[in-house]
Amino acid sequence: MRFQLGRQLLDRQLVDVDGRLVGKVDDIEFDLDDDQVPYVRTLLVGPGALGERVGGRLGRLLILAAERLVTDRPVTALRIPFHLVTRVDSAVWLSARADELPESPVEEWLRRHLIDRIPGSGHASG
């Protein structure tokens, strides 16, 4: 069963209700219902989730690299409740807008210090 879910969800692009790219599914969190049947509770996104999934030295390196970019440590996964998923095809489509979802501290840092400074990025330089 995990293999099937992994193929359907892991590493798929997350797309908000407006068609904006949000990130990629890096891991899945399960829970048990009242009858002890497992179900997908949350999609985990970000270097914290990816590093945990990869594991070993490479996983720790991913997490350490992300932690060098943020002030809030440790870097944790962003959690997107599965009930926000409306469909899964080549991407995972959400019923929420990107600005209604939690923001990744790493992506915020990259946007502020890198993307916003690129001429023509559509943002004022700062």
Among 9-13, 14-18, 63-67, 95-99, the minimum mean pLDDT is found in: 63-67
State the Cα–Cα distance between residues 98 and 101, nearest whole angstrom. Answer: 5
Alpha-carbon span 61 to 96, nearest angstrom: 32
CA 50, chain centre distance (Å): 9
- How many angstroms separate the CA atoms of 71 and 87, rounded? 35
* Residue where the block lists tokens 């899964």: 88
- Give this prediction's pTM: 0.67
Residues with Cβ within 8 Å of residue 52, at least 6 apart in sequence = 27, 59, 63, 77
Q: What is the pLDDT of residues 49-104, one digit of tens each?
A: 776 777 788 777 777 777 677 666 666 678 899 999 999 999 999 999 988 987 76
From first CA to last CA, the distance across the chain in angstroms is: 48
d(CA 62, CA 64): 6
